[in-house]
Amino acid sequence: MARADRINAKLTAELRPLALTVVDESHLHAGHAGWREGGETHYRLNIVSEAFTGKTRLERHRLVNALLQNEFTTGLHALSIEAKAPDEVRS
């Protein structure tokens, strides 16, 4: 299973997001720290979940990073996170 699929599955199972986008941006970091041939090292994610209601930005990022800890130990180098509660999303 590709890393993006594992990230998507883990966050979906744990946070039941209303919206989730996982984008592999590894190609944008070719030759930089943490990059490896084949990609799957740098990701951007946008997630909307009730789990973020009442949490600070730092708490949200810590929650996501904790859920994806295994990915960081197996080659994920960087993760850009935009995490919002449903009431923070514009219609």
The residue that leads in pLDDT, 38 or 64, is: 64
Looking at residue 26, its pLDDT comes to: 79
Superfamily per CATH, domain 3-88: BolA-like (3.30.300.90)
Residue 21: its pLDDT value, please? 97
pTM: 0.84
**pLDDT value of position 83:** 98
- Mean pLDDT, residues 1-19 taken together: 95
Domain residue extents for the chain: 3-88
Determine the Cα–Cα distance for residues 72 and 84; give it in Å rounded to an integer: 22
pLDDT digit string, tens, across residues 22-50: 999 876 655 666 545 556 788 999 999 99
